[in-house]
Amino acid sequence: MQTIKSILFFFILSNLSCIAQNQTNITVIDEDTTALEYEWMGTISRVLTSMNVVYSKPDGFKEVGYTECFKENPKLKEAFTCVLNQLQSEDNQFMVYMQTHRLFNKEEILDMRRLFPDFDPENIPVNTMKYIIKVFFGKEKEDNWEELVDFYSIKEAHKKFNADSAMKLSICLSPDDYYKNEYKYIDVLFFQKRERGYIGLFCFFTDKAHSNYNHYWKKIEKTFYYED
């Protein structure tokens, strides 16, 4: 039962982002008339605005704006459901997708607690990270999830993202799970500012990018920033 609840919980949270993206097959009536700061993101731009997060296009990357639901890759679909707004390096060796989870209002929290009595929106990044670890590494590793995650210090998280916390998981895919047959590695980055929601970045990269990792990663770390 706990496993079923975990899967349902992650599915709900993932689709809260996906239904807001106009490239999915779900029709959403958007009554928000706030101007789009970042038009290529569609309505996700408004989510960032509501979180008071600023976006800066990383040098050497293209804004593709594509939504990926991994229909051809069951493992990635199980782990990530759908991810949004692709950024792709100009050399096609490194691509980034995102998920955003704004702050829940009181009514939404009460609705979620009808399904999950212990629901706390501030715990979403940890619960999501644990679920991803379970998919790729198994239940035993999920129970000791901190051993697989690199945690930014409070000082680093504040300096890079003006966030309260940040963590990164690195995954080396098995050959059957390579994304588009050549992206062998995934880095998952979550950073969060309390009472402001969190941002998840899902980075797929090739052997060539892996050998020059810092060249790409330093740019990605400058892409999103919480304003005070």
User: 54 phi and psi, to 5 degrees?
Assistant: -105, 145
What is the identity of the amino acid at 151?
F
Asked if residues 214 and 47 have their Cβ atoms less than 8 Å apart, the reply is no
Per-residue pLDDT of the chain (228 residues; tens, 9 = 90+): 444 444 344 444 444 444 333 333 333 445 566 678 999 999 899 999 999 999 999 999 999 988 999 999 999 999 999 999 899 999 999 999 999 887 788 888 889 889 988 888 888 999 999 999 999 999 999 999 999 999 999 999 999 999 999 999 999 999 999 999 999 999 999 999 998 999 999 999 999 999 999 999 999 999 999 998
Look up the pTM and report it: 0.84
| Dist CA 30 CA 134 (whole Å) | 35
* Tokens 């706390």 sit on residue: 120
Q: Which residues of 186-195 are buried (b: 16+ CB within 10 A; e: fewer)?
A: bbbbbbbbee
